[in-house]
Amino acid sequence: MAYEHMTELFINGKRQGSSSGEIRNVLHPADAHLVATFHEAGASDTVAAIDAARHAFDSGHWGSFTGEQRGKILERVADILERDKELFAKAESEDTAKRLVEAQYDIADVISVFKYFSTLAPQNHDREVDPGRQNVRSTMTSEPIGVIAMITPWNYPLLQASWKMAPAIAAGCTFVIKPSELTPSTTSMMMDVFSEAGLPTGVANLVLGSGAVAGGPMSTHPGVDMVSFTGSLATGKRLMINAAETVKRVALELGGKNPNIIFADADLDAAIDNALTAVFLHSGQVCSAGARLLVERKIHEQVVTEIARRADLIRLGGATDPDAETGSLISAAHRDKVERYVADALSEGAILRAGGMRPEGAQFENGFFYRPTVLDNCTTEMHCVQDESFGPILTVEVFDTEDEAIKLGNDTIFGLAGAVWTSDSDKAQRVARQLRHGTIWINDYHPYVAQAEWGGFKQSGNGRELGEAGLAEYLEHKHIWQNLAPAPSQWFVPTKGKVDV
């Protein structure tokens, strides 16, 4: 497939320009070359997309598709992505500046998500309920919730979109999706994939542009039944307020400040190696990044010295640089934020052990690069420990006891993910079960599977993506009570004789 018109909006089965005629240039973060010029939707375009999704849901055609038919469409989507995976990986890498090999892994994960939900789509979620009496049939049935407004982030553009689009299609919903204006390419390409796979007109709609303009109606329009958002805590709170006016269902994944706990009895070679991956993968622009390192005091200096040494050796470079181990940040504004974050941490008393600067060299001058950074001597009172940097920054805290490690690990408003490193299996399970985070890895960091639910506790959000609960987010549950032997209830005694009027 050529994907020639992916820079336009996609509404009611057709590519079209924006009503305002405004455009936006998307630049490659590593060297600022032009990736593409996209049409910039206005609020009226988003309303048109919502109306198209509403009509597609209410008209009955999409609703007549069986779960098996929806599953077949998702299978075809996965097959098309498999066929064109290199095109998608290249486009993802161009938008985000993540290394091409990382983008290839991401697209493989996207394919697995569509395959997984293709297997869930045909499943019957109805169940019989014992009514406790004769001559009654009591049934719980599940139905698609309706029109979904999806807003996705820039760090894992298509992966995060797939976590929403695949279960929505499996459930029988329709949707409007707005990817980040910084990384729209692969989500836009998916509209052509859906068309080729046989998804009916109006089921999938795409608007491109800023959240303030294009995204405005998505949380306020009465034609939207649910908002699914992945992004910042501040934006998530605003969406909840907006959605409350029409009592929409809201599913939010709002990031985290994730503890990576290393006990003295851990395999330190493995723990140190994975601690680097946990925080510096994709230059730290990962919601589940292990940005808080909690180290048992007796091994603190040994662990931090080695992590800092290895952090200074990490090679930065462009997406196709064969020697690069990680890439640039997404934008100049984001790099500025990261730099302020480090400066504030040092002013609070953190000790710089590695990084803390832009890399030197002509190859970095046009990109938004920042060295992997290690901040030691941190405590939970510091902003650098409590606030999410979303950059290549590791803060280090120490603990003396198991209970203290748990207390520190939970000392955050967030609760998305965390890890425990120890050779004591019982201790690992104890700590994992007491940490209030949605995913806990033991002697590992970052892997996930489509079959397991993903989401956060506390202010990391509500609802779940992936797994069976990820599908349930897009379903309404209805109770149908059928009396098989109807008769007068005689609750009120019939009046004898003629009633005076």
Report the catalytic residues: 253, 287
How far apart, in whole angstroms, are the C-alpha atoms of residue 14 and residue 350? 54
Instruction: Identify each DSSP E strand in 276-414 by its residue range.
Output: 292-296, 351-354, 373-376, 393-399
Burial of 369 (0-12, 13-18, 19+ CB in 10 A): buried
Structure tokens at 304: 């931090």
Structure tokens at 410: 């939970």
How far apart, in whole angstroms, are the C-alpha atoms of residue 202 and residue 49? 8
CB-based contacts of 5, cutoff 8 Å, min separation 6: 15, 192
Judging by DSSP bridges, how do beta strands 226-230 and 147-151 pair with one another? parallel
Asked if residue 372 lies in contact with residue 422, where contact means CB atoms within 8 angstroms, the answer is no
- In this structure, the dihedral spanned by the alpha carbons of residues 426, 292, 256 and 406, taken in order and rounded to 10 degrees, is 30
3 state SS of 157: helix
Among all chains, which residue has been given the structure tokens 């990576």?
Answer: 260
Q: How many CB atoms lie within 10 A of CB 333?
A: 9
How far apart, in whole angstroms, are the C-alpha atoms of residue 283 and residue 328? 7
Q: How far is CA 318 from CA 97, 126, 296, 386, 466, in A?
A: 7, 51, 36, 31, 31
Asked if residue 178 lies in contact with residue 49, where contact means CB atoms within 8 angstroms, the answer is no
Q: Name the residue among 379, 455, 457, 445 with its Cα closest to residue 414.
A: 457
3-state secondary structure 5-29: CCCCEEECCEEECCCCCCEEEEECC
Considering just the CA atoms, what is the radius of gyration of the chain in Å? Answer: 25
How far apart, in whole angstroms, are the C-alpha atoms of residue 341 and residue 338? 5
How far apart, in whole angstroms, are the C-alpha atoms of residue 56 and residue 127? 28
CB-based contacts of 402, cutoff 8 Å, min separation 6: 263, 427, 430, 431
